[in-house]
Amino acid sequence: MTAYKPGDPTTLNRLYGRSKGKPLRAGQQDLVDTLLPQIAVPLDGDVTARRLFDFDRPLHFEIGFGGGEHMAARADMLPDHGFIGAEPFINGVAQALVHVAGDPHLANKGGQHPPLANVRIHHGDALEVLRRIPDGALSFVYLLHPDPWPKARHAKRRMMNDGPIDLIAAKLKPGGEFRFGTDHPIYLAHALMVMRRHRDQFEWLAKDARDFQRRPGGWPETRYEAKARAQGHEVWYFRYRRR
């Protein structure tokens, strides 16, 4: 058996990497036990805005939201939109739940951190949910600082591969936007190679280098981006529009 067998995340059908880290704090565990079941994406059936939020609205999907900073900031920025996030790492899910829960005791007093009612979370594989979203239903898809899997033999584990990109293209409506960010040069080169193969599906929204070297407006910083910058890494930002 060879480590270089063909495939990508849509055909490997397994998750790689950690699913949990250090023990959750009591407050985080309480949110996992009480809030997560209330806002969890249903485990079967179609995943639609009407089913999740009771009425149609633009839908956003974040693949691997880390600690949920970006997802929460975007949801707060666009309260009339619906946000779906998928993350297999329970510690990241717990941190995202802290953002979603807000600060209820301040909400009725004009506080700055009211709960976010427009977020739904899947603790697990993003592809399980993405496959159940009707074609053409998403307005935005985000893939920000994914695990780079830098070794060549692990390239098939990268989310930036033909299978996932075809799936993202199918789920985005015409004019919908796919945003990708990374600070890893190997992943960058691989992603650009993959996206060149999908020019019939996506238009790269960049006129010159400055457009992908600076974080665009309305693109909140993630903790991974902040960490990368603190370590002196360059960060790249890509916006693709579904044709």
Residues taking part in catalysis = 147
**Whether 100 contacts 121, CB under 8 Å:** yes
Which DSSP string corresponds to 123-144?
Answer: SS-HHHHHTTSPTT-EEEEEEE
Compute the C-alpha angle 46/49/55, nearest 5°: 125
| Burial degree of 58 (CB within 10 A; 0-12, 13-18, 19+) | middle
Cα 145 to the center of its chain, rounded Å: 9
Nearest to 66 by CA among 227, 231, 224: 224
How many angstroms separate the CA atoms of 172 and 3, rounded? 32
* Strands 236-242 and 202-204, sheet pairing: antiparallel
Structure tokens at 165: 């990109």
Alpha-carbon gap, residue 190 to 155, rounded angstroms: 9
State the residue for tokens 């033909």.
Answer: 162
